[in-house]
Structure formats: C-alpha cells, structure tokens
Amino acid sequence: MKQDIVVKFVEAINNQNLSLIIDMMSEDFYFIDTYGNKENKEQMKIGWQGYFNWFPDYLIEIYDYIESDKFSIIIGKASASYLGNKEKYWEFPACWKVIIKGNQIQTWQVFCDSKKQLDSMK
C-alpha cells in the first residue's frame, strides 16, 4: 500500500504531473532538501514547477525500497540536464525518506550530493 503511493508519487514527478503531485501532498506536507531546508505545500506548488523549468528531463530511478511502520526509504538515482542542455547533464545516487499520511505524502526528504546539479546551473 505505502509502496504503491510512493511509486505513484515518483511517477508523477517523472511525468511532471504537477496537478497529481499537488493532490498527493498532504496539507501538512514538507519537502526537505539535502541541506535540511524545509518547504511546505504552498511553497512547493511553485517549487516543483520551478524545478521542472530548470530540469525538464528530471528523472528518479528506484533501485530499492525499504519500509517501516513510520517511513519508507527509496534508494536510487536522480538525473537531469539544466534547461534540457545535454552538455549540462548530471546523475548521482540519491535516497529519499518518505512519510505517508493516509493516501498522501506528508514528508519528502532527499539525501544526495547536489554539487553536480548545482554546478550544471553555472
């Protein structure tokens, strides 16, 4: 059940389906980036679109999925290219901690080394 929700959210991200992403975020949703910065649902309604504008080919690949009573972990890879420019392509291992509330995502926390990603934006 939880895994189905997580996979559906990843597919919505990979398809840049903003309306589904927003629908799947709980009202008390938080996105937590690799530096620990938190953004709520209202901020992420804009944040997701901005991210997709920067990285129109953003893709999450899931290699492993682990679940406990409190949260799920995705282990995989993220990749994209800045503004779709293949010369500014990056990919790196990443993992995500996901907390489910009901049938929605309450917390989406990413852990990765974002240096390649940030460097691609120069």
Is residue 113 very low, low, confident or very high in pLDDT (cuts 50, 70, 90)? confident
- C-beta separation of 38 from 32 below 8 A: yes
Mean pLDDT for 58-67 is: 97
Cα end-to-end distance, the chain, whole Å: 41
Cross-strand bridge partners of residue 74: 65, 96
Q: Check which CATH number belongs to the domain holding 30 and give it.
A: 3.10.450.50
* Joined tokens for residue 92: 């790196």
pLDDT tens-place string over residues 81-91: 999 999 999 99
Closest by CA to 63, choosing from 89, 92, 36, is 92
The pLDDT assigned to 115 comes to 65
Query: pTM higher than 0.85, yes or no?
Result: yes
> Which residues constitute the domain of residue 113?
2-120
Instruction: Please determine, for residue 117, whether its predicted confidence score (pLDDT) is greater than 70.
Output: no
Q: How many structural domains are present in the chain?
A: 1
Alpha helices, DSSP H, located in the chain: 2-14, 18-24, 41-54, 115-120
Contacts 24+ apart (CB under 8 A), 9-13: 9/98, 9/105, 9/108, 10/60, 10/62, 10/74, 13/48, 13/58, 13/60
